[in-house]
Structure 1
Amino acid sequence: MENEIEIKKLKKVVIAIYGKYLEISFKKELELLFAILQKNQVEVVIYAPFHEYLIKEFNLQISTRALFRTSGEVKHLADYMLSLGGDGTFLESVAFIEESCIPVLGINFGRLGFLANISTEDIGNAIDLLLSNNYSIENRSLLQVFTEKNPFSNFPFGLNDLTIQKKGTSMINVNAYIDDDFLCTYWADGLIISTPTGSTAYSLSVGGPIVSPSLPSFLISPIAPHHLTVRPFVIPDSCTLKLEVTGRSGEVDISLDSHSYSIALPLTLEVKKAPFHIGLVNLQGTNFFKTLRNKLLWGVDKRN
């Protein structure tokens, strides 16, 4: 037992880092981040294109354990995934984790930062809390998309949402079935199928409700429906949602989180709950409801 404890003490923490393009004004924050990691003897595994970008644009010299380009290269190496950017970057980092259960922490170098909820001003404190195990892991569900014309074959999963939108000026028709039971036909500019995590994203902007991340559900939110009787609808994520899409334009735009494609019509898709979760790091003192108040000003009233 004593030997096992000694081995755990000697084991270095390995953090995988994913990012894309950052404003040059963030150079000091990046230097601080890597200095803190080095000071704490954290071994770093960096997304190769991002590593090249940091050297070229920021002139940063970073000591790395390894570089990665695919999920297979990172998911057995790292203890944590650190996403540097906004929520879009955070969503992209999920594809490198897959079912490995590596927890993700996002530092917001973007704008709103609902998923990437750690501010650049709080980098030092955030890393200290992470390395001292002062955090909890919140499991977030994903949706999985099935279709014969699946352009998302490498990673057909979404942490936020699946969006089906018209291409051109003509609206689309979507026949929706829940476990083979007919729900309705949507005549609309599009349809958003979101997870509880995605309820604060695009779905919210078209009038969808905010759903607690722990609620096992999907949201169906129409985009500009040509009905007065169609509204956002919440269904259990234990069911299978089938969507039959037709339209005059001959094509439809489909987005799964940050990946978008045009696909020929007619099109049939099935949406199910993914067989794995993504673990989000909630540092001590942070949670979904606090983020809701801070980022979306939930319940803000000047009388309070």
Structure 2
Amino acid sequence: MASDDPRTLVSTEWLAAHLNDPDLRILDASWHMPDSDRDSHTEYTEGHIPGARFFDIDEISDQRSALPHMAPPVEKFISRMRAMGIGDGHQVVVYDSLGMFSAPRVWWTFKLMGKLDIAVLDGGLPKWKAEGRALEDLPPMVRDRHMTVQRQAHLIKDVSQVASASKLGDWQILDARSAERFRGEVEEPRPGLRSGHIPGSLNLNYRDVLNPDATMKDEAALREAFEKAGVDLSKPVITTCGSGVTACILSLALERLGHHKHAVYDGSWTEWGMYPDLKVEKG
């Protein structure tokens, strides 16, 4: 089991022990692919970890963009967090209903906003439920709390920066999609996208940094997974995936290894695969 760290990852045991801390805030950041036939908010209302607020990844985003759930503007993030009663001085724990899928995206979003006291719940809601821990279906009592934000621009990359990295090789580009999608052997789940990967990029499926119960692997196993994928852990990394969600799992894993020079390509393959003038590799 990975060790507890309130800035990266905490266990269900840690959360249970701190559940009644006055400055703890819990977020349910469950999100599912559009074709999954699941409604995250409905599932949240039916049962969630006591005190959890629902973080809507699609709504708390930059909706001026045609791309899905792009990082929110600072002002929108502050507004939504204050309305949820989350602010300065709070320790935040975020989880999702798949164990380790969308929660790291919210962890990264908080880091992007300069908020460091946030951790992902290791194993998420499935592990919490499997251990017979308490759930509730009541909305939490919310009190407005001031929040100070300082956006960390170095944690995010746009398409031009990724294209430069692809050409120059000064940043490693690491794709969290499955090997079949990376190699271009299957169609993309989002219609209209080309198949393949960013030229020069490496592939490490996000599942390969997780245990079968969706907890994160320990440090030795994480290091082995990255090195097996060809990643040089002494050099900077841009993580990417289908739409910027599972890329954040790799970013969380890098942070667990003490590798702090990493950034997320927010548009990911949804953006890159859309434009015919951007080169694509297969195989």
Name the TM tier (shorter chain). 0.3 to 0.5
**Larger relative contact order (C-alpha < 8 A, sep ≥ 6)?**
2
Query: Structure 1 or 2: larger helix share?
Result: 2
Larger radius of gyration: 1
Query: Structure 1 or 2: larger strand share?
Result: 1
TM-score computed with the length of structure 1 as normaliser: 0.35
TM-score computed with the length of structure 2 as normaliser: 0.37
